[in-house]
Each structure stands twice: as C-alpha cells, then as structure tokens.
Amino acid sequence: MANYVFGVDIGGTTVKLGLFDIGGNVLDKWEIPTRTENGGANILPDIAASVRAKMSDKSIDKEDVAGVGVGAPGPVDGEGIIHKAVNLGWGEMNLKKELTTLLDGMRVEGGNDANVAALGEMWKGGGQGHKNLVAVTLGTGVGGGIIINGKIMTGATGSGGEIGHIHVEDHETEACGCGNYGCLEEYASATGITRLANRQLQASDKPSALRQGEVSAKTVFDAVKAGDELAIEVAKQFGDYLGKGLAVIAGVVNPEIFVIGGGVSKAGEVLFEYIRPAFDKTVFHGCRDTQFALATLGNDAGIYGAAKMVLD
C-alpha cells in the first residue's frame, strides 16, 4: 500500500506540483516554469524530472507512490487523451501514456484543469461531503467542472462542464472569445462584470463610486457592499445571468451543490444574494434545494484534485 501521491497542475506560465499523503494532507508544494517552446515538448519531461527529484530528496521509493495526477488546460477525455492545449503548444496527445513512460510505468491520471479543480474542491474544499457537484470558476473567463458520483464528467470529447459558453443572451452584439455571442462568460466573468459596469456607467446618469478610478469586478463588489446604487444594478445583471444559467445546469445534472471559485468569488457570500433570486425563480422544483458554497482551496484546487484522481 502506497503512502504518497503527486498532484500536478499545468498552467500557461508555471506548473504547480504537490506531494500529498493518501489522506490528502499536503506535505510539500512547489512550482516549475512551463516551457511552452517547441510545441511544449519539454513540459512533461520537466514534470517527470521534478517528481523524481522530489522522491530522491525525500527518499521516497517508487513503490510507495500511488501515482501522479495531472490537470492540463484543454479538453481531456476519459482515456487521458488531451485534444489540444493552445496555451501549452500541444496538439492531441496521450497525456497519461506519455507521462507514465517518462516515469517508468508509474500510474498517471490526466484531466482537464477545471474538472480537476472541481474534484479538488469536492475532496478537500468547499464541496466536502458531496459526491455530485458543479464547480464554477469566475475568473478572467468562466470555467466549470462537473462531478457525478465522485467522478469527473469529461463528456464525449472532453468538453463536459464548459459552462462559460452556454448561451444566455440573444441580443448581444459583442463576440465572446469563443466566437459566439451571448455566452455566460460575457456577463459572469471578471471581464464580463467590468463590461457590464462600463455599459451601465454609460447608460445611466447616476452618481457612483465607480465613476472614479478603476472599474473591475473587485471595485464593483466593493461598491455594492458600500450601498452604491449603480454597482448594485450591475450586480443584479450579473446575478440574473448567472442565476438563470446555474438553474439550467441544475435542471440538467441535478447537483447537490454549486461551489463558486475564481477571482470574482473573493467578493464572498454577497454573490449569492444576487445569484439566488434568478436561480430560485427559474430552477426546476426538484432542484430547488441545491446548495451554494464558496471554493476554499484557491489556486491549490488543481493539485488537490489531480492527486485525488489517482486515489479513485
């Protein structure tokens, strides 16, 4: 019986690594740069070398490691094949097989970074005690990860849980980064909230703290907490889009809980005051008891979830 497991979260600029005991206690955390040159050919060898170095450092035998879990920014299917990772320079690759070869047959599991983070939040974060959850990451974009019966739902081509790009507005005139118009991400991400705020500042004559200084998701929710009327209008628009979007997701997958993370979630529980009204109004009655919680692992969700993949 192995005592250790590694969790790896590959980002566009750094790779985060964690060494855990099999109870999920983090024993060590570190980072290495992500070398994206040459089609990202060095990334997996760098990870393998870093894992080996740590094992040697800590005098951990191969037999004492349950395996290495890896989250990567791209669609990863149930076989551990990543279909494209633009930020890493990767095309289609068998992540699981390549890394296991580099690690002399050590067990490797691979998943999409947002899905893996969702698993992390289930294991040790805001979703503890639940087996069916949807993690929603409100960052520069909107990401998502869906966990069904304790397992990542990858979908047919690794696009399961891509909830940032569900269509929520028919009348949008600006394109989303994905090329479509009216995606959830255009209203519920940090960028989206900023855009909603700038539109509202133009459309309204109301005085607002947002008329001075920077307009961002943070300044909007700071102003909401200070009772700023215009900021509250923006928060209502945000909450209306997100609440309705999450209600649809609830009707489809019927999770026990939504776990909300990402930079926007730093605003805290106040988010739920704006999300719940539209959610409660439009959700199927069988899903009305769905809970909402904040994510708690921050940027470490990925390494936790990656480690957990190996332990299942």
Residue 57 burial (CB count, 10 A): 10
The one among 153, 209, 232, 311 contacting its own copies by CB under 8 A: 153
Q: What is the smallest separation between the CB atom of 43 and its own copies, expressed in angstroms?
A: 22
7 forms beta bridges with 18, 69
- Compute the distance between CA of residue 118 and CA of residue 160 in angstroms, rounded to an integer: 12
Identify residues 14-73 at the interface with its own copies (CB under 8 A): none
256 binds its own copies (CB under 8 A): yes
Nearer to its own copies among residue 89 and residue 155 (C-beta):
155
- Compute the distance between CA of residue 302 and CA of residue 304 in angstroms, rounded to an integer: 5
Long-range contacts of 158-164 (CB under 8 A, 24+ apart): 158/74, 158/75, 158/76, 158/77, 158/81, 158/82, 158/83, 158/112, 159/75, 160/115, 161/112, 161/114, 161/115, 161/118, 161/134, 163/134, 163/136, 163/245, 163/249, 164/188, 164/189
Cβ(111)–Cβ(306) below 8 Å: yes
The one among 86, 281, 299, 312 contacting its own copies by CB under 8 A: 281
112 binds its own copies (CB under 8 A): no
Phi first, then psi: give them for residue 265, nearest 5 degrees. Answer: -70, -10
127 binds its own copies (CB under 8 A): no
Residue 285 burial (CB count, 10 A): 6
- Compute the distance between CA of residue 16 and CA of residue 14 in angstroms, rounded to an integer: 6
Range in contact with its own copies (rule: CB under 8 A) among 10-18, 56-64, 261-269, 280-288 = 280-288
Q: At what angle do helices 217-225 and 229-253 cross, to 10 degrees?
A: 110
253 binds its own copies (CB under 8 A): yes
Nearer to its own copies among residue 161 and residue 262 (C-beta):
161
- Compute the distance between CA of residue 229 and CA of residue 223 in angstroms, rounded to an integer: 8
DSSP percent split of the chain into helix, strand, coil, nearest 5: 45, 25, 35
249 binds its own copies (CB under 8 A): yes
114 binds its own copies (CB under 8 A): no
155 binds its own copies (CB under 8 A): yes
255 binds its own copies (CB under 8 A): yes
Q: What is the smallest separation between the CB atom of 48 and its own copies, expressed in angstroms?
A: 29
The one among 18, 69, 71, 75 contacting its own copies by CB under 8 A: 75
Range in contact with its own copies (rule: CB under 8 A) among 120-128, 213-221, 225-233, 245-253 = 245-253
Pairing type for strands 81-82 and 93-94 reads antiparallel
Nearer to its own copies among residue 132 and residue 219 (C-beta):
132
Range in contact with its own copies (rule: CB under 8 A) among 10-18, 25-33, 231-239, 277-285 = 277-285
93 binds its own copies (CB under 8 A): no
Identify residues 178-197 at the interface with its own copies (CB under 8 A): 178-180, 182
Residues that bind its own copies (CB under 8 A): 75, 78, 132, 146, 148-149, 153-163, 165-167, 178-180, 182, 244, 247-249, 251-256, 281-287, 289-290
